[in-house]
Amino acid sequence: MLEKLRIIFTIPELRQKILLTLGLLAIYRVGWQVPLPIVDPKAMTAFAEESGGIGDLLRTVAVFSASQLSQATIFGLGIMPYISASIIFQLLSTVWPPLERLSKEGEAGRKKINEYTRYATVLICLVQSWAYVAFLSSARVGDTSLIQSSFLVDGRLPFVWQFVAVMTMTAGTIFLMWLGEQIDEFGIGNGISLLIMAGILAAMPSALVQLGSDTNWELGGGGGKMGVETLLVLAALFVSVVAGVVFMTQGQRRIPTQSAKHVRGRRVYGGTRQYLPLRVNQAGVMPIIFASSLLLFPQMFFQYLHNAYPGNTVLGALHDSFTRGQSFLYNVLYVVLIYFFCYFWTAITFNPKEMADNLKNFGAFIPGYRPGKRTADYLERVMERITYVGAGFLALVAVIPTIVGGALGIPAQIASFYGGTGLLIAVSVAFDLVQKIDSHLVMRNYTGLLEKS
């Protein structure tokens, strides 16, 4: 492996791409730490720790958006507006005929859709940043405002400073979008995904420090801290979970296909056997993102009512039922929503009729099934079955942090590395990056990173 890493940096073009990618990711991490000039960082930290459901929402959004909403930085919105705009146009391209026709026009159509996506990103940024700045100007920690007193006039933030903050956060998101596109064009890997993974992995050192401080380095533990044997169990469990995620992420159902034979002159073409790969986890990480985001809103709503009416036992029971990771009802709803969004997202992104038509147009067929509707029905039936397995895998990965945290009594920040959205994103992006590097190595007749010498 060390020899393969050495070979990677001996190829000038590949070395340049990797160094450029690392440099752009470093720029992102620098801006991730720069707060807006109007906010009080200490008050923001105290508010994120004491706000309960709102703090959970900010931390959950930060996992899959490369954002820093809990500290109100210039990259506070992350790339979530761009992701939201991309999802909107992806959904519209399946149901709105003009966009559907545009998506079938090849590279020119994709460029036009990307242009519309950028315009929509700016609009979403303006709306979200304005709402966020308005929230910051009204929120308080005790009697302390989240806005620095030097920017307040009669206890309120003037319109000029609100406008400056909105433009700053909008420009930050557009700059991140530009960084991602530069990585796509001149670097290596998917730029947006690498930005998200950088934000996820950046939380690992602080989690390891917290794990070390919570560990009693004597067998048996004691003093309310974890023992070394618990640490070994966590390490083994982490390796097992990562191996399972890798196995399921790369898992495929291979459907055999055969091309029809045709004769040209004295030669016979076609007749070869191939296979059609269908991913077990066709929906990717989107079902977990949708399910966790949707469940945070009732959690915040019932927490607000519980704080407003602390003596009401019914509101207290509803608040406890939607407490993240501590309620049986919450976990059941979480699993149900993951299954629903798995089938929903797969139905949007996977079109068995179009796939059957493509096989028919290229002169290929699935043995035992006639081209056309019979093939489409068969593909849909197979996808329904493997989606059930993929949804079960996603549900298991999503609740593993809850199980680990409850059984071993470890903090949520550490338990999050044993499953959930962050782990799936990190593994998927890492595999995509390795495949991109392998393509450069194989093109130059070198052995890939995951291949045996």
CA distance 441 to 433: 13
Residue pLDDT, tens place only, 33-88: 888 888 888 888 777 766 555 665 666 666 666 677 777 888 888 888 888 888 88
CA distance 401 to 420: 7
Task: Give pLDDT, residue 324.
Answer: 60
CA distance 249 to 431: 9
CA distance 170 to 161: 14
Per residue of the chain (453 residues), what is the pLDDT tens digit?
Answer: 677 778 888 888 888 999 999 999 999 988 888 888 888 888 887 777 665 556 656 666 666 666 777 778 888 888 888 888 888 888 888 788 888 888 888 788 888 888 999 999 999 999 989 988 888 888 777 777 888 888 888 878 888 989 999 999 999 999 999 999 999 889 888 888 888 888 888 877 777 777 777 666 555 555 556 677 777 877 787 888 888 888 888 888 899 988 877 677 777 666 678 888 888 888 887 788 778 777 777 777 777 777 777 777 777 777 677 666 567 788 888 899 999 989 988 888 888 998 898 888 888 888 888 888 899 999 999 999 999 999 998 888 888 877 777 777 776 667 666 666 777 888 888 888 888 888 888 887 777 766 665
Residue pLDDT, tens place only, 174-224: 999 999 999 988 988 888 888 888 888 887 777 777 777 766 655 555 555
Q: Which amino acid is at 141?
A: V
Query: Please, what is the Cα angle at 154 between 153 and 158, to 5 degrees?
Result: 35
Query: Tokens standing for 356?
Result: 């059957």
Q: Quote the pTM value.
A: 0.80
Residue 35 bridge partners (DSSP): 73
Task: Give pLDDT, residue 119.
Answer: 93
In order, the DSSP letters of 356-412 are HHHHHHTTEE-TTS-TTHHHHHHHHHHHHHHHHHHHHHHHHHHHHHHHHHHHH---H
Note whether 309 and 292 are within 8 A (CB): no
Task: Report the candidate in 38, 11, 16, 35 with the shortest Cα–Cα distance to residue 148.
Answer: 38
Give all domains of the chain, ordered by start, each with its CATH number. Answer: 1-202 (1.10.3370.10)
